[in-house]
Amino acid sequence: MYHRSVLLTESVDGLAIRPDGIYVDATFGGGGHAGEILNRLTTGKLFAFDQDADALSNKPDDPRLTLINNNFRYLRNFLKLYKAVPVDGILADLGISSHQIDTAERGFSTRFEAGLDMRMDRRKTRSAKEVVNTSPEDQLARIFREYGEIRNASKAAGLVATARKSKPVETTEELKSILVPCAEKGKENKFFAQLFQALRIEVNQEIQALKEFLIQATDVLRPGGRLVVISYHSLEDKLVKNYFRAGNFEGTLAKDFYGNVQTPLKLITRKALVPDERETEENSRARSAKLRVAEKK
């Protein structure tokens, strides 16, 4: 299986689909969410995005679907190109696909020996190898700290900076061997998962892309249109939560003269929805998922 969709029914329910509406699956992947959206459409249209060329092979033969091989940070431009603005709903599942994790040569997984790659869009030239070997030590520490929430980020960056003076760090296993002293005994897997997450976020500029996407999504939605986002770690979820609640990424509430909060979105889910026990037992990668839904005012 290319990928098992997380919170499939709950996320598509959150779109409140109109059979003749125009919808966006911003992260097509294995096509699970897209397929469920198409099941609920009659004359409606679905525009899907995925920057990973591998996902294109999952496209069903359905004239209602247009699949765009690009990052969702370009959402507005492509929807305008296809004269599809405004849209009735947008769904984004921010998780990395099982296919990407399980394809060893992509370098996303801590389980396999592979080149330091981690590019979701392999047309891009900057890989994890470039990040590890060319980033200044203080910048590397910031990446580890901010994107991986690694407590001893400065020590980790120092070890990498020292090691790469002798020879470039080429593979996932080389990187892991350098950073073994930073991993708390008994919690090595967690440390390396955080490390790889940090590098992946930096390589793919995921935080900046998410911010651009959320702003553009609000712009292209019609009033009453729904925005559904599934996130998998605290950095993403905090941005989504703040933006849905306050219309900005800091979570600062702006109020008018009468004390009314000025935000472009209305919360549909006051608290994040999470997978039930059955789903997490069947799909361990769903365990950290959080689903939030908002509606454009």
The CATH number that applies at residue 123 is: 1.10.150.170
**pLDDT tens readout for residues 86-121:** 999 999 999 899 999 999 999 999 999 999 999 999
Into how many domains does the chain fold?
A: 2
The structure's pTM equals 0.95
- DSSP calls for 71-100: -GGGHHHHHHHTT--SEEEEEEE-SPPHHH
> Same domain, yes or no, for 192 and 117?
yes
* One-letter identity of residue 247: G
In a domain, 90, yes or no: yes
In a domain, 2, yes or no: no
pLDDT at 138 over 90: yes
Both tokens assigned to 252: 């600062």
> Same domain, yes or no, for 124 and 192?
yes
> Same domain, yes or no, for 191 and 214?
no
Q: Please indicate whether residue 93 or residue 260 has the higher confidence score (pLDDT).
A: 93
The CATH number that applies at residue 277 is: 3.40.50.150
> Same domain, yes or no, for 161 and 247?
no
HSE-up (13 A, CA, CB side) for residue 266: 9
Q: Which residue has the tokens 């793919």?
A: 204
In a domain, 38, yes or no: yes
**pLDDT tens readout for residues 178-225:** 999 999 999 999 999 999 999 999 999 999 999 999 999 999 999 999
Q: Please indicate whether residue 4 or residue 69 has the higher confidence score (pLDDT).
A: 69
pLDDT confidence of residue 211: 98
Domain boundaries, position 12: 8-98+206-296
> Could you count the other beta carbons within 10 Å of the beta carbon of residue 151?
14
> Same domain, yes or no, for 128 and 269?
no
In a domain, 1, yes or no: no
> Same domain, yes or no, for 273 and 155?
no
pLDDT confidence of residue 50: 98
> Same domain, yes or no, for 174 and 199?
yes
pLDDT confidence of residue 103: 94
> Same domain, yes or no, for 88 and 170?
no
* Edge-to-edge strand list for the sheet holding 221-231: 65-68, 45-49, 22-25, 87-93, 221-231, 290-296, 265-267
